[in-house]
């Protein structure tokens, strides 16, 4: 995959937002660190939907560069107390991406920063081990959340449609390890990876929220978008993939919240309204994305209410999609 050239001491991105925790809404700083990249992409096993390899450095970076990226990102902090969410193009806990020394220095700085109330790090389950989490816990004693992109509770969909290369049982094991070291767990789920009809995709995520709810404190539902240089992009160009309808996201959130009222369930409709992102008819996309954003902070299903004529069309797509084996009916 073609790489873009970037300075090794600057993060991919860092931005302020708000996050919903059990106790309420808190300002947050999201940090995307540039690293060597996800090892799966180096062994030619990247996920069908993931274009993040384009943001990776492609070579191992020094602890100094990684800490400099982190410190640069922290200058964009919100005022007062906040939480920090750290993502790489792979796993924060893979020492090939973030060497031990850099990891300890970053977690140490976050631990001693009195405005930082909670930290979220993202990892594939194979790096959530006793040794790694206990190491993290030696330098970082505040609230720690480990986010895992389990994507779905269906092993068939995770392996065959996404090529993620791990099992639901790996996720359960990782979640138990995290909890043993007093860390909470967040599951990232993916609505509508390739090869699924709209209806199958909806039912998959409603079931997945139910299945992960025993192992996590929070769920975030990512709405699949078409990233550059991916298998998904090839399918999309051929007319064999349409990103999820925002109606589907609204339907999933409504049903999942009704089934799991105490679970924090959020979604950030990245790329909503674009052809390559989740969209409805074009006229109601902003309203629908706004409703999803509001619900994600309030957890109140009334915030998901919007109206548009295209809802009927979406319902037909959900009904008929199963008959076309996932081939798009409407773009």
Of 129, 176, 116, 122, nearest to 146 (Cα)?
122
Q: Interface with Zn ion includes 69 (CB under 5 A)?
A: no
> Rounded distance, CA 18 to CA 310, Å?
30
> Rounded distance, CA 120 to CA 269, Å?
20
Of 304 and 308, which CB lies nearer to Zn ion in the complex structure?
308
Q: Interface with Zn ion includes 310 (CB under 5 A)?
A: yes
Q: Interface with Zn ion includes 67 (CB under 5 A)?
A: no
- How many residues in total does the chain contain? 331
Residue 111 near residue 141 (C-beta atoms within 8 A): yes
Q: Which of residues 249-288 bind Zn ion (CB under 5 A)?
A: 280-281, 283-284
Residue among 50, 120, 232, 308 that touches Zn ion (CB under 5 A): 308
Q: Interface with Zn ion includes 161 (CB under 5 A)?
A: no
Of 151 and 285, which CB lies nearer to Zn ion in the complex structure?
285
Of 209 and 308, which CB lies nearer to Zn ion in the complex structure?
308
Contact residues for 302 (Cβ-Cβ < 8 A; gap 6+): none
Q: Interface with Zn ion includes 301 (CB under 5 A)?
A: no
Count residues binding Zn ion (CB under 5 A): 6
Q: Interface with Zn ion includes 291 (CB under 5 A)?
A: no
Q: How far is the CB of 312 from Zn ion (least distance, A)?
A: 10
If you write DSSP's letter for every residue of 139-156 in order, what string do you get? H--SEEEEEEEEE-S-HH
Question: Which span sits near Zn ion by CB under 5 A: 37-45, 124-132, 202-210, 303-311?
Answer: 303-311
Residue 201 near residue 171 (C-beta atoms within 8 A): no
Q: How far is the CB of 257 from Zn ion (least distance, A)?
A: 22
Of 165 and 328, which CB lies nearer to Zn ion in the complex structure?
328
Q: How far is the CB of 310 from Zn ion (least distance, A)?
A: 3
If you write DSSP's letter for every residue of 151-178 in order, what string do you get? E-S-HHIIIIIS-----HHHHHHHHHHH
> Rounded distance, CA 16 to CA 29, Å?
5
Question: Which span sits near Zn ion by CB under 5 A: 27-35, 65-73, 97-105, 304-312?
Answer: 304-312
Binding residues for Zn ion, per CB under 5 A? Answer: 280-281, 283-284, 308, 310
């Amino acid at each position: 995959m073609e790489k873009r050239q970037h300075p090794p001491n600057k993060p991919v991105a860092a931005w302020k937002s708000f996050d919903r925790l059990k106790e309420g809404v808190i300002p947050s700083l999201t940090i995307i660190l540039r690293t060597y990249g996800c090892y799966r992409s180096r062994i030619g096993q990247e996920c069908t939907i993931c274009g993040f390899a384009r943001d990776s450095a492609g070579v191992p970076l020094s602890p100094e560069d990684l800490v400099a990226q982190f410190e640069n990102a922290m200058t964009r902090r919100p005022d007062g107390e906040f939480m920090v969410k750290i993502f790489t193009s792979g796993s924060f806990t893979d020492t090939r991406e973030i060497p031990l020394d850099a990891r300890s220095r970053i977690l140490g700085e976050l631990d001693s920063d009195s405005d930082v109330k909670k930290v979220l790090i993202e990892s594939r389950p194979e790096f959530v081990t006793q040794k790694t989490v206990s190491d993290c816990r030696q330098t970082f004693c505040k609230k720690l959340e480990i986010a895992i992109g389990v994507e779905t509770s269906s092993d068939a969909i995770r392996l065959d449609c996404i090529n993620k290369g791990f099992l639901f049982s790996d996720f359960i094991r990782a979640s138990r390890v995290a909890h043993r070291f007093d860390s909470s767990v967040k599951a990232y789920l993916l609505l509508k990876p390739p090869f699924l009809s709209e209806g199958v995709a909806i039912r998959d995520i409603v079931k997945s929220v139910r299945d992960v709810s025993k192992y996590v404190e929070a769920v975030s539902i990512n709405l699949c978008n078409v990233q550059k240089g991916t298998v998904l992009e090839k399918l999309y160009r051929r007319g064999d993939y349409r990103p999820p309808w925002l109606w589907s996201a609204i339907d999933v959130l409504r049903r999942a919240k009704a089934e799991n009222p105490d679970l924090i369930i959020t979604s950030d409709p990245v790329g909503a309204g674009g052809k390559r992102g989740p969209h409805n008819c074009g006229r109601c996309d902003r309203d629908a994305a706004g409703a999803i954003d509001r619900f994600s902070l309030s957890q109140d299903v009334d915030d998901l209410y919007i109206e548009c004529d295209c809802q009927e069309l979406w319902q037909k797509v959900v009904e008929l999609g199963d008959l076309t084996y996932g081939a798009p009916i409407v773009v």
